[in-house]
């Protein structure tokens, strides 16, 4: 059985319900196409602990597909982040009280890594054909989501796997609790994630088959 690693974050601040954490619970141990098993990992909103936990699971499961999820409280649609940088910078403390001031994840100069998720196909299949709320973005910020996205992108490029990061909007329960007007029903969020995973796997299989010798 091959592995899909799906990560999400636990609650933080006033966002007591984190839909990325709840999505992990829905998909954990799900089997796609009879050979891909989802391993769900909940990450704390902590730079040091989250990154170490992610690297541990990447090493343990060696997933063929990695998708990181994170809550973005102000968006209305799911957002597939196209790029991540190796710079971490934020003055708002994480749950451990830690702040970052222009720290590099690696090296001492700016690096940008882009997603290996098939975003063009995902938008065509999930948004255009099925009218699901998914779009793309090039500004992920410099907080923890960017940190995790960069590590996922680095793994996917180094190991020749597929990986990327997706921001998800508040769901109805969080919107009601925090008096937000931008949200999606939770089943719409999970339907969109299911479409993204299935589309990505189909693309992976099609690309792999294209390298097989053609029958004469």
Could you list the active site residues? 81, 145, 167
Handedness of CA 86, 133, 182, 26 (dihedral sign): negative
Q: Tokens 């597929």 belong to which residue?
A: 162
CB 175 within 8 A of CB 8: no
SS3 172: helix
Distances (CA, A) of 18 to 88, 94, 150: 22, 15, 21
CB 206 within 8 A of CB 13: no
User: Nearest 10 degrees: CA dihedral of 101, 106, 112, 115?
Assistant: -110
């Amino acid at each position: 059985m091959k592995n899909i690693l799906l990560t999400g974050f636990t609650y933080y601040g006033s966002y007591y319900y984190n839909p990325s954490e709840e999505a992990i619970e829905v998909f954990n141990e799900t089997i796609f196409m009879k050979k891909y098993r989802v391993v769900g990992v909940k990450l704390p909103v902590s730079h040091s602990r989250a990154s170490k936990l992610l690297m541990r699971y990447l090493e343990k499961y060696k997933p063929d597909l990695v998708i990181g999820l994170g809550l973005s409280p102000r968006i209305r649609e799911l957002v597939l982040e196209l790029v991540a940088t190796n710079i971490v910078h934020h003055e708002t403390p994480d749950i451990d009280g830690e702040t970052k001031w222009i720290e590099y994840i690696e090296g001492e100069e700016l690096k940008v890594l882009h997603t290996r998720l098939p975003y063009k196909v995902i938008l065509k299949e999930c948004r255009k054909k099925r009218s699901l709320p998914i779009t793309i973005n090039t500004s992920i910020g410099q907080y923890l989501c960017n940190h995790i996205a960069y590590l996922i992108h680095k793994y996917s490029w180094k190991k020749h796997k597929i990986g990327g990061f997706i921001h998800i909007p508040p769901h109805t329960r969080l919107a009601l609790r925090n008096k937000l007007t931008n949200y999606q029903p939770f089943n719409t969020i999970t339907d969109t994630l299911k479409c993204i995973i299935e589309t990505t796997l189909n693309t992976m299989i099609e690309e792999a088959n294209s390298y097989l010798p053609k029958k004469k």
